[in-house]
Amino acid sequence: MMYWNKTFECMDREHLHELQSQRLVDTVKRVYFNVPYYRDKMQSVGLEPGDIKGVEDIAKLPFTIKQDLRDTYPYGMFAVPLSEVIRIHASSGTTGKPTVVGYTRKDIDTWAELVARVLTGVGAGRNSVVQVAYGYGLFTGGLGLHYGTERMGATVIPISGGNTRRQVMFMQDLGTTVLACTPSYALYIAETMEELGIKKEDLKLQAGIFGAEPWSDNMRKELEQRLGIKAIDIYGLSEVMGPGVACECLEQDGLHVFEDHFIPEVIDPDTGEVLPPGSIGELVITTITKEGLPVVRYRTRDITSLNFEPCACGRTHVRMSKVLGRTDDMLIIRGVNVFPSQIEHVLMNIGGTQPQYQLVVDRVNNLDELEVWVEIDDKLFSDEVRRLEDLENRITREIQNTLGINVTVKLVEPKTIARGDGKAKRVIDKRNI
């Protein structure tokens, strides 16, 4: 079993708890004295830094939400002067200004360390060739993976996203062993390989580090089979750091949250109440070593659960489940909570379809209607109409059974649904709510 930093990755939980408490106390002081936003917010609930003595006091602290970062745009939440900040990233919002995040030299260092842990954890080493097909730029994916790869001493190919044929050519010619990108782009790369007649055996790929969008275990199977790899889920968000906040080990049974740097909680998204271990709810993260932009009880809007059972890999850090969806992805259709991942799950189980789908929600005569567009396999499309109808009916039935609402399923030709380098657009909501 390989670790990058065994001391911290396998620290016994008692010591980890002490370390977290110390670091939390420091963080609370840092934000209280350096960020007026936090000072005001703490004072408004009658809290002083001295009231937080350890992890057990964390729930006393108010939450931070994305809107707080927008309201203090661009630098209002930074806890250091700009002279200490050596890098900026930003996430694009659908409306208004982006969210700007900043890193000190130590923050960039920590980030590289955590990504080095991720890569070592999937079996990569100094001889590995890591193709980083996440976008480089303001998005944290590209540079995050890049610095971690350099830190651990492997060879990085900073190809960024796009130009998929060139991606495949490099994978083959340069002997790429690890591919890092979004899972939907990995699937697109697999499709392109098949089009070009390149087999997985022609490549040296061993692992894929996929993140930045939720994906199912069935999608994992698909990617592992088509690319001949171990597909590993990595988690992160720019407000907290970027990719590398948590990652699966080779056990592929939950993502270890790097608890020497982050404290995760799961709350009820409606009431804000902290839920017991194992419950499904919204992930909340407090950074405990960040200097540039520390966040206290940041509401990620990601739905997951925490598993404190020991892991066979020997790491002691808690595992979060694969992200099941987002509180804001959650569609409410005729009063029923619907996550796109539920539909993905059904499609993967049935087979005969491509794992590309889109949900179109509309309101007709005051009633919500859900249409599911599904791409089918090439070979099926040229098949007799009868078989297509059977498949359509079966998918309709299974989705209705899963969701408990009526849906209309529409089978479409391969490559009808737009895709590409970025995140797959799974939902089109035409309702004016």
Which residues are at the interface with Zn ion (CB under 5 A)?
A: 249, 251, 311, 313, 315
Smallest gap, in angstroms, from Cβ of residue 317 to Zn ion? 8
Which is nearer to Zn ion, 132 or 320 (by Cβ)?
Answer: 320
Smallest gap, in angstroms, from Cβ of residue 250 to Zn ion? 8
Which is nearer to Zn ion, 259 or 368 (by Cβ)?
Answer: 259
Put the strands of the sheet holding 325-326 in their side by side order: 262-267, 281-287, 298-304, 325-326
Which is nearer to Zn ion, 77 or 247 (by Cβ)?
Answer: 247
Which is nearer to Zn ion, 157 or 249 (by Cβ)?
Answer: 249
Which is nearer to Zn ion, 157 or 306 (by Cβ)?
Answer: 306
Rounded alpha-carbon distances, angstroms, from residue 421 to 162, 227, 322: 5, 18, 22
Smallest gap, in angstroms, from Cβ of residue 2 to Zn ion? 12
Which is nearer to Zn ion, 69 or 255 (by Cβ)?
Answer: 255
Smallest gap, in angstroms, from Cβ of residue 306 to Zn ion? 14
Which is nearer to Zn ion, 11 or 370 (by Cβ)?
Answer: 11
Which is nearer to Zn ion, 252 or 416 (by Cβ)?
Answer: 252
Residues 364, 338: Cα–Cα separation, whole Å: 18
Smallest gap, in angstroms, from Cβ of residue 307 to Zn ion? 10
Smallest gap, in angstroms, from Cβ of residue 305 to Zn ion? 16
Smallest gap, in angstroms, from Cβ of residue 315 to Zn ion? 5
Q: How many CB atoms lie within 10 A of CB 134?
A: 29
Which is nearer to Zn ion, 160 or 305 (by Cβ)?
Answer: 305
Smallest gap, in angstroms, from Cβ of residue 267 to Zn ion? 24
Smallest gap, in angstroms, from Cβ of residue 150 to Zn ion? 25
Q: Name which of 153, 211, 107, 131 is nearest 4 in CA terms.
A: 153
Beta bridge partners of 307: 319
